[in-house]
């Protein structure tokens, strides 16, 4: 399903007679890529992209799926369902009340006018331009979570959103709004369990005996000019999708594009740092720009 509304409607058909029913969802990145094509052709690209991302996060979640689903529709239960796959194979959990209070404290002190990325920068004590310009480095909560990595905060903030501790106001520049449940935790009236972050370990596959490409070289003048144009395009896309530019492509990938100048979908997919999903999402605008510079 492309969004939570569709998913909720589909699983409701299984148990609408009041009897027990099983709902099985098949999920792969290929599905995300396919749905993303339809989203880009829809009349509400930003809204539908956000809904698709929420659906993807739901599929990858490590907390009770029923709690996430009900939270999406502004309902809350204070216990896990005991029936979903996560509940039947529970991960390790801990009392995350202090972490939640750190995050919510920062949201309160910024008058609920920050998004997830800025919140994370405040908690980790970032010295980014935005943090300094806005004076966030003077907040009491600045740097209180610097002992946690970027990945850890990503995981915990996502859980907080899925548990309904705060909402994302998509119509207000993705600002975070604390819910009544979140306020209960913030002021010590309730506690909350979070899933322990576990760094995924990837087993490196045996590589064929080929010379690996490296991109630590100086660009020519024409390549540098193209690289600057690619950076501008990346920034435009990142702004439209409410992402950090590096989440679209790294500088290393853009340098590789400027050097190799791929003009076809196949050639673009072989560039350093460009996977299957990013090929489907971005090959057209980037190769169009490259073609204009050949």
Say what the pLDDT of residue 233 is: 93
- Structurally, the chain folds into a number of domains equal to 3
Answer whether 241's CB lies under 8 Å from 197's CB. Answer: no
Evaluate whether residue 208 is within a structural domain.
no
> What pLDDT score does 276 carry?
77
Asked if residue 127 belongs to a domain, the reply is: yes
Residues of the chain with pLDDT under 70: 14-18, 29-30, 200-217
Q: Is residue 100 part of a domain?
A: yes
CA–CA gap between residue 211 and residue 231 (Å, rounded):
28
The terminus-to-terminus CA distance of the chain in angstroms comes to 41
What domain range is 226 assigned to?
Answer: 221-291
Same domain, 113 and 48: no
Q: What is the CATH number of the domain that holds 180?
A: 1.10.10.10
pLDDT at position 29 = 61
Surface-to-core class of residue 51, CB atoms within 10 Å of its CB (0-12 exposed, 13-18 middle, 19+ buried)? buried
Has residue 214 been placed in a domain? Answer: no
Do 167 and 232 reside in the same domain of the chain?
no
pLDDT for the residue 212: 43
The reply to whether 42 falls in a domain is yes
Stated pTM of the model = 0.57
Please check whether residues 38 and 99 belong to one and the same domain.
Answer: no
Contact 279, 256 (CB under 8 A): no
Whether residues 100 and 185 share a domain: the answer is yes
Residue finishing a domain among 60, 88, 116: 88
Query: What is the per-residue pLDDT for 147?
Result: 94
pLDDT (tens digit per residue) in 84-136: 998 998 889 999 999 999 999 999 999 999 998 899 999 999 888 889 999 99
């Amino acid at each position: 399903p492309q969004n939570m509304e569709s998913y909720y409607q589909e699983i409701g058909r299984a148990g609408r007679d009041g009897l027990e029913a099983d709902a099985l969802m098949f999920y792969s990145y290929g599905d995300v890529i396919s749905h993303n094509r339809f989203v880009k052709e829809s009349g509400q690209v930003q809204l539908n992209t956000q809904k698709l991302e929420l659906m993807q996060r739901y599929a990858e979640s490590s907390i009770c799926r029923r709690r996430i689903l009900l939270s999406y529709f502004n309902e809350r239960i204070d216990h896990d369902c005991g029936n979903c796959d996560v509940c039947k194979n529970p991960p390790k959990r801990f009392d995350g009340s202090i972490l939640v209070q750190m995050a919510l404290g920062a949201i309160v002190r910024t008058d609920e006018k920050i998004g997830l990325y800025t919140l994370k920068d405040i908690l980790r004590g970032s010295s980014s331009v935005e943090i300094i310009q806005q004076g966030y480095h003077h907040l009491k909560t600045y740097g209180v979570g610097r002992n946690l990595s970027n990945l850890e905060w990503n995981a915990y903030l996502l859980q907080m959103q899925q548990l309904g501790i705060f909402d994302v106001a998509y119509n207000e520049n993705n600002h975070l709004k604390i819910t009544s449940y979140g306020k209960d935790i913030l002021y010590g009236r309730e506690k909350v369990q979070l899933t322990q972050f576990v760094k995924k370990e990837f087993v490196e596959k045996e590589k064929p005996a080929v010379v690996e490409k490296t991109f630590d070289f100086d660009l020519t003048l024409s390549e540098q000019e193209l690289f600057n144009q690619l950076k501008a395009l990346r920034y435009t896309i990142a702004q439209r999708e409410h992402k950090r530019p590096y989440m679209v492509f790294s500088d290393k990938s853009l340098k590789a594009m400027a050097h190799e100048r791929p003009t076809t979908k196949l050639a673009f997919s072989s560039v350093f740092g460009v996977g299957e999903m990013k090929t489907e999402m971005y090959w057209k605008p980037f190769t169009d720009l490259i073609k204009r510079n050949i």
